[in-house]
A = this chain, B = another copy of it.
């Protein structure tokens, strides 16, 4: 008897799951039907800022596989502009709205894959829905932003929120010649970094000619003829022709919550290591699903494409009858603003304190290449390590070209629960064009271990 898999959401997690399930079960065994409320499937949302900035010229380059390709190559039916608005886990049906006709209909499922992604935070501010104010979540956002730039040649851009999306969009506008202002409510940009590291990002942003306001909250927007004309902070207004909301994103779990599918404390759908929800035959993966943090051992909601792909793969293998688990996340991520690279993994200081760790930190300034080699540039590396044991808890890197990807070495050490003492001897590569003879990772581990030792002496 043919089973039917319904996939809710046509991006990374959902379509990876569909593909993996299809690999293991042919169309006679498993019918696959996917619903996507937008216009595109399997796209790189992380590429949107680069599409807006023009580094990526064609929208097609950001699309891994179109709905037609899914149908023709994998026998996976995709209905775009269709939104799943209800799930009945008893009747095993979903209610779907055809967004073109605004008509609802039902489809039945045996297996249900929920991959509804994340929803950008959109504060309830005056005029927040005005024209010229954009979130950056799906390809359509990128298309709309680029169209507005081409049609209206805005001169002044204001980015609200200096997180990953915010700083990447700031760079994009900057490269297009717009005057860019970024407004951040915290004391420093990048809430995924400790303030001392975030400050370095802020200094660099200002150096690149971006106006950065920190410790400032947006209270509303001024409009003219329905179009945004200024952003209001406290008592004054910052003129704006285009505004980006980069205030982060939360799990889009409403349809699951309404269906009684258990939601975790992070706001994401509760899943186990196989990506099963607590309802038999109902799976979730990607930004809508809760993740297990491997260092804090706590549930978290961290929207990242890397997790979405891996979780989707895990779900798909299991739906396909295989056995696969996804152990959890470290939250490793990287970004850049102009020539500055930024990366982090694991816990920040605040996370570590909240998770109950006593910790020490070590920060070093080193170079990406041998100090004497052309192109050697400064990089700052910070590690957070547990007291006494020296166990690595997290790290942050800021620097020029070649800095960010070193976070992967630290993430791999973290994955293996290494102490910085163990890391000291690690056999990393060296050649003058690539690193100093003591790689910045090792230099920082060495300094961290020294601090652990000193702390133990003092603590006696």
Q: Which A residues form the contact surface with B (CB < 8 A)?
A: 12, 44, 46-47, 50, 55-56, 61-62, 294, 304-307, 309-310, 326-327, 329-336, 341, 343, 345, 370-374, 402, 404-409, 411-413, 415-416, 418, 424-435, 437-439, 441
Cα-based distance from A21 to B408 in the complex (angstroms): 33
Check A432 against B46 for contact (C-beta < 8 Å): yes
Contact of A327 among B425, B431, B437 (CB under 8 A): B425
Cα-based distance from A335 to B435 in the complex (angstroms): 11
Check A56 against B373 for contact (C-beta < 8 Å): yes
Check B406 against A373 for contact (C-beta < 8 Å): no
What chain B residues lie within 8 Å of A402 (beta carbons)?
Answer: 402, 405
Check B429 against A370 for contact (C-beta < 8 Å): no
Contact of A428 among B44, B411, B431, B435 (CB under 8 A): B411
What chain B residues lie within 8 Å of A412 (beta carbons)?
Answer: 409, 412-413, 416, 426, 428
Check A428 against B47 for contact (C-beta < 8 Å): no
Question: Which residue of B has the minimal Cβ distance to A309?
Answer: B437
Cα-based distance from A411 to B411 in the complex (angstroms): 13
Check A334 against B370 for contact (C-beta < 8 Å): no
What chain B residues lie within 8 Å of A332 (beta carbons)?
Answer: 427-429
What chain B residues lie within 8 Å of A404 (beta carbons)?
Answer: 429, 431, 434
Cα-based distance from A387 to B341 in the complex (angstroms): 39
Cα-based distance from A433 to B341 in the complex (angstroms): 10
Cα-based distance from A373 to B51 in the complex (angstroms): 10
Check B46 against A334 for contact (C-beta < 8 Å): no
Cα-based distance from A406 to B409 in the complex (angstroms): 8
20 contacts between A and B (CB under 8 A): A47-B370, A47-B373, A305-B430, A306-B427, A306-B429, A306-B437, A310-B425, A327-B425, A334-B431, A334-B434, A335-B431, A345-B427, A402-B402, A404-B429, A404-B434, A406-B408, A408-B409, A408-B428, A412-B428, A415-B427
In the complex, given contacts A44-B372, A404-B431, A413-B416, what are 13 additional A-B residue pairs having Cβ atoms less than 8 angstroms apart? Answer: A47-B372, A47-B373, A50-B373, A50-B432, A309-B438, A335-B431, A402-B402, A402-B405, A408-B408, A409-B412, A411-B428, A415-B426, A416-B416
Given A345-B427, A428-B411 in contact, is the A433-B336 Cβ separation under 8 Å? yes
Cα-based distance from A441 to B435 in the complex (angstroms): 20
Cα-based distance from A234 to B441 in the complex (angstroms): 48
Contact of A345 among B326, B406, B429 (CB under 8 A): B429
> How many Å from the CB of A16 to the closest CB on chain B?
10
Contact of A432 among B47, B304, B374, B411 (CB under 8 A): B47
> How many Å from the CB of A346 to the closest CB on chain B?
9
Cα-based distance from A47 to B404 in the complex (angstroms): 24
Question: Which residue of B has the minimal Cβ distance to A311?
Answer: B425
What chain B residues lie within 8 Å of A307 (beta carbons)?
Answer: 427
Cα-based distance from A324 to B330 in the complex (angstroms): 30
What chain B residues lie within 8 Å of A428 (beta carbons)?
Answer: 306, 332, 408, 411-412
> How many Å from the CB of A61 to the closest CB on chain B?
4
> How many Å from the CB of A275 to the closest CB on chain B?
12
Check A427 against B335 for contact (C-beta < 8 Å): no
Question: Which residue of B has the minimal Cβ distance to A441?
Answer: B408
Check A437 against B12 for contact (C-beta < 8 Å): yes
Question: Which residue of B has the minimal Cβ distance to A57?
Answer: B372
Contact of A329 among B405, B415, B427 (CB under 8 A): B427
Cα-based distance from A291 to B396 in the complex (angstroms): 33
